[in-house]
């Protein structure tokens, strides 16, 4: 009986050792894969389509649980309104955003510099550059001229990289440009202070249009990383801690899957129609289509296509910085050219319309941002095409007026008719397939051939052209 407790103690010991050994031998549970990283590509000039593309990318990243959004940029700049919309979306995004200027050879100029400063992480590929963030004055010079010195000495020349101010008309253009410059400086300074980046160089990029290479930007604290491609960047920022909306977030980006945000058909369509050249062409096609429809009611195709093109063109123009004086000149020019076709004025209206159209097209887009101008070659080609259409239609109208009338009631006089019925005072005759009432000083008979020699309203005056044949009288 004394051995029984000893045996039980050994059994319990062996059981505990077995359990502990089995637990130690079991493989550890596999770690969960890192959340994906969403990549949104920004190429070319930044406009309404770019802003919509970025907004959708941030929305999809939040919906799909992405841990990071990477904006891969190669842009010369763009519209101020679209840039600010992108920055607002970045600042409001619960998913951190990293801006990456790449691949090698890319740039983030003007609006791209502001977006990079607004991002939580800033990185560049070797061989890239950023900067030249001086705002382009709408409809004027990129930078206002400095005020004259009080001592009477001439003002210093503009800083390197800034364009010479063009002559301007209107009230206080220098004050207006200075306000725009001060606003841009304050905006980029606030972004630099928010992200802890080089504030002095940010102001220099705006005031002096300064630029930096990737290595220089890293050395001066403008960016945090230089990486040759996206996988290298994700490996470098792995483990980085970020403060997002008051909460601390640690990135686990090493080996994370890259999900590229592709623009859908609506963004592609928006990118096409918001090109100023395309918008101008759509407007012209729309107006000419409606003109041909009104000139030939029932054709349908010109009216339908013209209405669609005109609405698309107007929608695109309301998204762009349009000079409404230019738009009015274009509309006036097209109206003059249409009036030249309807009532030829020996070229006065047509020539005036072409001049108004060219002037309006030149000043239509109220900005000098790269990628948002209308090429002069396109304006000249459209003016020549419009002139050819006006001249061709006018020549056709003049030739048609010189021809003899071959249809309508004006051609009834002088034609032969056949008597259909004979009444007491009037008869019914058939002329060119039409039934008319007729009167004659001589008695008429059914089937007789008569000549129309006059008309009184809806009554024709006729006379026999040949004596009544016996066979006709018998019938």
pLDDT of residue 405: 57
d(CA 350, CA 335): 9
Q: What whole-number distance in Å separates Cα of residue 126 and Cα of residue 106?
A: 9
Closest to 86 (Cα-Cα) out of 128, 40, 125: 40
Which of 385, 338, 332, 329 has the alpha carbon at shortest distance from 362? 329
In this prediction, residue 363 carries a pLDDT of 86
Q: Could you tell me if 114 and 141 are in contact, meaning their C-beta atoms sit under 8 angstroms apart?
A: no
Thinking of the domain 37-142+174-265, which architecture would CATH place it in? Alpha-Beta Complex (3.90)
Domain definitions of the chain by residue range: 37-142+174-265, 275-402, 409-474
C-beta separation of 95 from 68 below 8 A: yes
Amino acid 473: pLDDT: 45
- Name which of 360, 358, 367, 372 is nearest 275 in CA terms: 372
Joined together, the tokens standing for residue 55 give 């907004």
The most distant pair of C-alpha atoms in the chain lies apart, rounded to whole Å, by 160
Q: How far apart are CA 57 and CA 52, in angstroms?
A: 9
Closest CA to 35 of 56, 72, 62, 73: 62
Q: What is the pTM of this model?
A: 0.68
Per DSSP, the residues of 363-412 read TSB----TT-SPPHHHHHHHHHHHHHHHHHHHHHHHHHHHSPP-SSGGG-
* Residue 467, φ and ψ in degrees, nearest 5: -60, 145
Mark 303-339 as b/e (b = at least 16 C-beta within 10 Å). Answer: bebbeebbebbeebbebbbbbeebbebbebbbbbbbb
Distance separating alpha carbons of residues 164 and 212, to the nearest angstrom: 22
Cis-peptide, bond into residue 133, ω within 30° of zero: no
Per-residue pLDDT tens digits of the chain, which is 475 residues long: 455 666 666 666 666 666 555 545 445 545 578 899 999 999 999 999 999 999 999 999 999 999 999 999 999 998 999 999 999 999 999 999 999 999 999 999 999 999 999 999 999 999 999 998 888 643 333 333 344 443 344 434 333 333 343 444 444 446 767 888 899 999 999 999 999 999 999 999 999 999 999 999 999 999 999 999 999 999 999 999 998 878 889 999 998 999 999 998 989 998 888 888 898 899 888 888 887 887 777 778 888 898 899 899 888 888 888 888 888 888 888 888 878 777 766 667 878 888 888 888 888 877 667 777 788 888 888 888 888 877 777 777 667 666 655 555 667 777 888 888 888 778 889 887 788 889 888 888 888 889 888 888 888 888 888 654 444 444 4
Given this model, what pLDDT does residue 178 score?
84
For domain 409-474, the CATH superfamily is Nucleic acid-binding proteins (2.40.50.140)
Find out whether 445 and 419 touch, Cβ atoms under 8 Å: yes
Instruction: Give, in order, the Cα–Cα distances in Å from 312 to each of 205, 269, 284, 301, 361.
Output: 37, 10, 11, 17, 17
């Amino acid at each position: 009986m004394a051995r029984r407790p000893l045996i039980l103690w050994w059994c319990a010991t062996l059981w505990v050792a077995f359990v502990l050994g089995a637990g130690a031998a079991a493989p550890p549970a596999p770690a969960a894969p890192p959340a994906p990283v969403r990549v949104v590509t920004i190429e070319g000039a930044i406009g309404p389509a770019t802003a919509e593309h970025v907004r959708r990318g941030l929305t999809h990243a939040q919906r799909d649980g992405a841990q990071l959004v990477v904006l891969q940029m190669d842009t010369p700049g763009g519209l101020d309104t679209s840039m600010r919309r992108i920055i607002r979306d970045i600042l409001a995004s619960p998913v951190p955003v990293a801006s990456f200027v790449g691949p090698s050879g890319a740039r983030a100029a003007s609006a791209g510099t502001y977006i990079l400063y607004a991002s939580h992480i800033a990185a560049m590929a070797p061989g890239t550059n950023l900067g030249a963030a001086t705002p382009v004055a709408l409809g004027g010079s990129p930078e206002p001229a400095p005020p004259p010195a009080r001592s009477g000495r001439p003002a210093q020349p503009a800083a390197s990289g800034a364009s010479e101010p063009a002559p301007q008309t209107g009230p206080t253009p220098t004050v207006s440009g200075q306000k725009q410059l001060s606003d841009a400086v304050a905006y980029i300074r606030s972004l630099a202070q928010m992200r802890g980046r080089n504030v002095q160089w940010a102001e220099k990029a705006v005031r002096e249009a300064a630029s930096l290479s990737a290595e220089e930007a890293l050395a001066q604290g403008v960016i945090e990383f230089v990486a040759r491609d996206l996988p290298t960047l994700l490996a470098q920022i792995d483990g980085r801690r970020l403060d997002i909306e008051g909460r601390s977030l640690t990135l686990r980006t090493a080996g994370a899957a890259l999900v590229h945000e592709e623009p859908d058909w609506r963004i592609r369509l928006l990118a096409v129609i918001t090109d100023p050249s395309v918008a101008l062409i759509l407007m012209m096609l729309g107006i000419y289509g409606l003109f041909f429809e009104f000139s030939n009611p029932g054709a349908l195709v010109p009216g339908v296509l013209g209405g669609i093109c005109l609405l698309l063109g107007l929608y695109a123009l309301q998204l762009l910085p349009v000079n409404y004086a230019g738009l009015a000149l274009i509309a006036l020019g097209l109206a003059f050219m249409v009036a030249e076709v309807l009532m030829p004025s020996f070229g006065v209206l047509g020539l005036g319309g072409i001049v108004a159209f060219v002037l309006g097209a030149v000043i239509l887009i109220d900005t000098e941002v790269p990628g948002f101008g209308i090429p002069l070659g396109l304006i000249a080609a459209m003016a020549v095409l419009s002139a050819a259409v006006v001249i061709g239609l006018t020549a056709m109208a003049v030739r048609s007026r010189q021809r003899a009338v071959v249809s309508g009631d004006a051609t009834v006089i002088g034609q032969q008719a056949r008597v259909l019925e004979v009444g007491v005072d009037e008869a019914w005759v058939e002329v060119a397939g039409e039934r008319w009432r007729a009167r004659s000083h001589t008695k008429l008979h059914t089937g007789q051939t008569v000549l129309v020699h006059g008309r009184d309203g809806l009554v024709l005056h006729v006379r026999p052209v040949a004596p009544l044949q016996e066979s006709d009288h018998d019938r």
